[in-house]
């Protein structure tokens, strides 16, 4: 018999999950966590608007795949954050959502057991529990908002948010980011286009209306008033784009668009040719530019983990090495500590 179906031809299953309100009831914000996020959001806003002269450093694993390792990393980072806090404001990269060039593991929320079982509800619970743990240490957290619905579940625990290179030009992401309470950074495109990040800044500052879900999990039209707190992130494209020549050009582009030139530089991705060992070269160059008087560099991003490098995710997850990234290469903890202490000395000088 002819199959007469005209929709859902490619859908295998649909499963309803916990609502944002229910998840927040299970993992409520404590007073300490609330204070961490509020202080974190405000500190980043002050840095963005030049009311705080410190350099914002977003540092941490390329992706979180092991909760215990992430907690151990957060513990170390909190100590270092206190040590360098006179010149550097540290925010931990707690990235749960990974965009892929083609296909691959899409992060802890999408697939928490790393085995394609894709237990998203468990992923959301693990993510919220870890974010609460980090906030209760007094450490602010940074995330990439890749999925446009999951912010309803966890965004109250982030002090800074990125929109990635593959989604900066997306209307849905700009709509969603216009409603975020934190500062939002827009990456340049994977091929190096800066105009999409500049346009995203203009877009995100404006009010938007879009379909999403509300805290009770019902489909809702969300109306935003626009997010006035944004900046661009240089992550390299066909080639690195952090040199003083590149930065001067982008400062001029931002000014031409009527935007304050506020720029974060990602030491990883195409700026390091995805080689973790190159991140220190980028950081050195930026420290030099700042000491020579550059005032638009407001932040840097570093991909760092407990251990150097990366490892392939295989079906035998029990063979994974502790503290090693399963996505992009990261620098290890010892180097992270050394680089940030040196950066502090250079900035002080």
Ligand X SMILES: O=C[C@H](O)[C@H](O)COP(=O)(O)O
Ligand Y SMILES: C=C(OP(=O)(O)O)C(=O)O
Residues contributing to the site for ligand Y (CB under 6 A): 62, 95, 99, 144, 164-166, 187, 235, 269
**8 Å CB contact between 81 and 75:** no
Applying CB under 6 A, among 159, 227, 279, 327 the residue interacting with ligand X is 327
List the single partner that 27 binds among ligand Y, ligand X, none, CB under 5 to 8 Å by kind.
Answer: none
- Asked whether position 207 contacts ligand X by CB under 6 A, the answer is no
- Asked whether position 100 contacts ligand X by CB under 6 A, the answer is yes
Choose among 254, 331, 337: nearest CA to 295. 254
- Asked whether position 101 contacts ligand X by CB under 6 A, the answer is yes
Nearer to ligand X, 8 or 101 (CB): 101
Which class for 81: exposed (0-12), middle (13-18), buried (19 or more C-beta within 10 A)? Answer: buried
- Least Å from the CB of residue 96 to ligand Y: 11
The three-state secondary structure class of 243 is coil
3-state helix, strand, coil in the chain (%, to 5): 40, 15, 45
In angstroms and rounded to an integer, the radius of gyration of the C-alpha atoms of the chain is 20
Applying CB under 6 A, among 111, 147, 251, 328 the residue interacting with ligand X is 328
Which 8-state DSSP code applies to residue 298? Answer: E
Neighbouring CB atoms inside 10 A of 33's CB total: 21
- Asked whether position 104 contacts ligand X by CB under 6 A, the answer is yes
List the single partner that 187 binds among ligand X, ligand Y, none, CB under 5 to 8 Å by kind.
Answer: ligand Y
List the single partner that 100 binds among ligand X, ligand Y, none, CB under 5 to 8 Å by kind.
Answer: ligand X
- Least Å from the CB of residue 63 to ligand Y: 7
- Least Å from the CB of residue 270 to ligand X: 9
**8 Å CB contact between 320 and 311:** yes
- Least Å from the CB of residue 110 to ligand X: 12
């Amino acid at each position: 018999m002819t199959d007469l179906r005209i929709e859902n031809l490619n859908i295998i299953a649909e499963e309803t999950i916990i609502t944002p309100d229910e998840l927040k009831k299970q993992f409520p914000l404590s007073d300490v966590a609330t204070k961490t996020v509020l202080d974190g959001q405000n500190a980043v806003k002050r840095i963005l608007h030049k009311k705080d002269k410190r350099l914002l450093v977003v540092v941490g694993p390329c992706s979180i795949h092991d909760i215990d390792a992430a907690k151990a990393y957060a513990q170390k980072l909190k100590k270092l954050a206190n040590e360098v806090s006179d010149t550097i404001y540290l925010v931990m990269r707690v990235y749960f959502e990974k965009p892929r060039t083609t296909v691959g593991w899409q992060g802890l929320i999408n697939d928490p057991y790393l085995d394609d079982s894709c237990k998203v509800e468990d992923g959301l619970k693990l993510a919220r529990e870890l974010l609460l743990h980090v906030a209760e240490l007094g450490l602010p957290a940074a995330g990439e908002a890749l999925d446009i619905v999951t912010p309803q579940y966890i965004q109250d625990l982030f002090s800074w948010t990125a929109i990635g290179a593959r989604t900066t030009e997306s209307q849905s992401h700009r709509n969603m980011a216009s409603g975020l309470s934190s500062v939002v950074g827009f990456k340049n495109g994977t091929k190096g286009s800066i105009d999409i990040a500049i346009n995203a800044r203009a877009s995100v500052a404006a009010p938007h209306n879009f379909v999403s879900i509300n805290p009770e999990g019902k489909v809702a039209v969300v109306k935003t008033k626009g997010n006035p707190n944004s900046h661009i992130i240089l992550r390299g494209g066909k080639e690195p784009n952090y040199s003083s020549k590149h930065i001067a050009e982008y400062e001029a582009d931002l000014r031409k668009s009527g935007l304050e030139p506020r720029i974060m530089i990602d030491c990883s991705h195409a700026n390091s040719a995805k080689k973790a060992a190159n991140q220190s070269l980028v950081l050195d160059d930026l420290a030099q530019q700042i000491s020579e008087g550059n005032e638009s560099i407001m932040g840097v991003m570093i991909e760092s983990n407990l251990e150097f490098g990366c490892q392939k995710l295989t079906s035998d997850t029990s063979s994974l090495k502790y503290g090693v990234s399963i996505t992009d290469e990261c620098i290890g903890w010892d180097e992270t500590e050394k680089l940030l202490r040196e950066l502090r000395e250079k900035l002080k000088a």
